[in-house]
Structure 1
Amino acid sequence: MNLSTPVGLALARAGRARIEHGPYGLLLAWDYRSGLLPVRGRAMTIGDVVLLGIPESALVRRPNLLRHEARHAGQYARWLGPLGFLPAYGLASLYSWARTGDPALRNHFESRAGLLDGGYIHRAHPTEAGSAEPGRDGSSHD
């Protein structure tokens, strides 16, 4: 056990979130309200805990978001918890930002979690088919 999930639960409680069991073995922390982490309008995973700054109704419009967050939970397990994953994720975000101006598009961890599932890129309409960057279809490489 790498302590990621207890850290996530502590953050959820500090943010006065309502915690419930979700799919993929995740713990969903609804209505996260702390300024500690930037999750307003988004989701952020710490261990198996997903801090949600979005209303439950938003998942209807983004049905694959929890699958994306579950992949991040697996990354915490493989990258030795918060002490390994968070610095590696931060470096990957900086690299992506330097290359693209966006912290996710070239972030190895976001790519492997699925950019499309995470809402970082959008599926192009048939008339916009040439507008999507090749190889950035959000598919997981796990």
Structure 2
Amino acid sequence: NFAVIFAAVWIWTGLAMTILSAAYKALPQEIIEAAIIDGATQWQRFWRLVLPMLSIPITFLVVVMIINALKMIDLVYVMTMGGPRGGTRVIGFSIYVEMFANGKIGYGSAIGAILLILVLPIILYQLRQTKKQL
């Protein structure tokens, strides 16, 4: 389990850091400089200025990571094939096993529909948060 988690973190850290770095560099420096002049500490600037301004990219990354965790089949398939006694079996891998290994197309499709039902509210939440902050 930890090997799959470590590999997933290794894969997605680059994307997350690239998005957060680009978003941080795009922050208006005038606001941060004004906070420095007003006497805000570095901690206050982070919590009251930087973090709220980075909330859209952070929300996007959280949504993408949750969706990828739910549908992750490639790492599980390559590294563990479902793991010892199904220990690393995730929803995406279950869809694959039921449809192609067990030949239960309808059951695999039902699991896929459940995955859609799980992912859709997460996407809608992210869209609402983005619209609210724009």
State the TM-score bracket (shorter-chain normalisation): 0.3 to 0.5
More helix by share: 2
- Structure with larger Rg: 2
- Bigger relative CO (Cα 8 Å, ≥ 6 apart): 2
More strand by share: 1
TM-score between the two structures when normalised by the length of structure 1: 0.32
TM-score between the two structures when normalised by the length of structure 2: 0.34
